[in-house]
Amino acid sequence: MVSDLAVGVLLAAGAGTRYGSPKVLAHDGLWLRTAVQALRDGGCDRVVVVLGAADAPVPDGVIAVYAPQWEQGMSASFEVGLTAASDADYAVVHVVDTPDVGAEVVRAVLAAARETGLARAVFDGRPGHPVVLARRHVDAAVASASGDFGARDFLRGRDDVIAVECSQWATGIDHDYR
């Protein structure tokens, strides 16, 4: 039995400018609750939600952290979230605006990451979320984050990232518009 600590890091700090409102509040918080449940049921021992543009009530047992530089883009939220999960053996980085991604996806990507320490969901060959980083990769991933990008540059071109095809469970489409 694997006893490594997996912490879900849900990035939900953005203003949702293209969407018209912060996505953490979408559908009366349904997207937030759905993403938290996917992380919990997918194998995360704890969940951290990164807030910024909007304050939102988080489900019981979830740790809410604030990204003061949220306006700088996803990289700021990424760093704050991973700092809050610094004791994790595996950080499962997810985004609030992919509401059809469920526990099956999280479970599959987390399981794959145990091989190399790096895994990401792909949907019909298209990279998506969640992304799982073993602790040994977190500092380099955070250092590579910039603007509206989290681990993208860090993951690009690496041969040790396991791509987990997840289109049998979800589309992985992130909703930028209503």
pLDDT tens per residue across span 52-74:
999 999 999 999 999 999 999 89
pLDDT given for residue 1 in this prediction: 40
Could you say which residues of the chain have pLDDT below 70?
1-3
* Percent of the chain residues topping a pLDDT of 90: 87
| Distance separating alpha carbons of residues 57 and 45, to the nearest angstrom | 20
Two structure tokens written together for 159: 């041969």
| Distance separating alpha carbons of residues 168 and 15, to the nearest angstrom | 31
| Distance separating alpha carbons of residues 165 and 104, to the nearest angstrom | 11
Q: Are 6 and 110 in contact (CB under 8 A)?
A: yes
pLDDT given for residue 31 in this prediction: 96
Phi, psi values for residue 118, rounded to 5°: -140, 130
Q: Are 133 and 141 in contact (CB under 8 A)?
A: yes
Q: pTM value? A: 0.95
3-state SS assignment for residue 65 = strand
